[in-house]
Amino acid sequence: MGGGGGGGGADGGSYNALHPEKVKIAATCLVVVVGVYLLGLYLKSSAEWRSNLSLSLNKKKKKKPIRVYMDGCFDMMHYGHCNALRQASTLGDQLVVGVVSDDEIIANKGPPVTPVHERMIMVNAVKWVDEVISDAPYAITEDFMKKLFYEYNIDYIIHGDDPCVLPDGTDAYALAKKAGRYKQIKRTEGVSSTDIVGRMLLCTRERSISDSHNHSSLQRQFSHGHSQKFEDGGSGSGTRVSHFLPTSRRIVQFSNDKGPGQDARIVYIDGAFDLFHAGHVEVCYAFPVSSHVRAF
């Protein structure tokens, strides 16, 4: 009994001591738990870092939209002007348009047919235009360029690829070009305010041919020599024929990508809309139509 008790005492001592196998298992478990914890911490912080980075990148992207500026007379607004505004809008995120004052047009090219407030209404109705500045100068002067850059945050000044020359023979956009802030769009062939005036003179001529000689010379002056009607004795169609080429590509460029919504109220209005003017725009705005059914 005594010997058995002694053996039990010896056994009891080895039972209480830490078994190396158990220590190994416990240590492994501890390493795994700490490892998993640290990995979790790492993944969490890197996910946060990534989302912070993309947020700040998005903020940076949203912070500075590219603002482009196009100026012009936009007298007797036609599809060539609209196509110029469409092209300008593709060169930035926001399009600001400067409508040249009546006085500036008189000083540089002769009196406009439509006064500045009507020209403003027309330009403002174009769906690609975000902001309109009234009384813009005809030429980009040093002061006005600073105003555009620092007050209106303009990145680029845009004009058609036709030369725009001041009465003294200098380029109206020379300073913008020198500053490296000038971009060009392609002028639309076959239409101009001058050509429209020529067509109007032809209409008048059909009603009164008594002063045909004077009229014919005036017409020639305005129609850039497309006056078969006069040259062939008045039998042809002459400049009254529009040179507009409504290609399917151009129609797609001018259209909106979206149709009316399911519950949209669709209003129909018809008319000749000859020489589309501020009154036509106002009548379109008289109806509560959504912005995608704009005048142009």
Q: Contact residues for ligand CTP (CB under 6 A)?
A: 70, 72-75, 80-81, 84, 159-160, 162, 187-188, 191-194
Of residues 182 and 285, the one with the C-beta less far from ligand CTP = 182
Of residues 158 and 202, the one with the C-beta less far from ligand CTP = 158
Cβ at position 242, least distance to ligand CTP in Å: 12
CB-CB contact of 67 with 100 (8 Å): no
CA gap 262, 3 in Å, rounded: 99
Of residues 94 and 108, the one with the C-beta less far from ligand CTP = 108
Cβ at position 80, least distance to ligand CTP in Å: 3
**Which residue is at the shortest CB distance from ligand CTP?**
160
Instruction: Name, in order, each residue with C-beta under 8 angstroms of 62's C-beta and a sequence gap of 6 or more.
Output: none
Cβ at position 78, least distance to ligand CTP in Å: 6
Cβ at position 140, least distance to ligand CTP in Å: 12
Structure-token pair, residue 273: 């809309």
Of residues 188 and 216, the one with the C-beta less far from ligand CTP = 188
Cβ at position 75, least distance to ligand CTP in Å: 5
CA gap 121, 106 in Å, rounded: 20
Cβ at position 54, least distance to ligand CTP in Å: 39
Of residues 100 and 202, the one with the C-beta less far from ligand CTP = 100
Of residues 52 and 141, the one with the C-beta less far from ligand CTP = 141
Of residues 51 and 170, the one with the C-beta less far from ligand CTP = 170
CB-CB contact of 158 with 91 (8 Å): yes
Cβ at position 189, least distance to ligand CTP in Å: 7
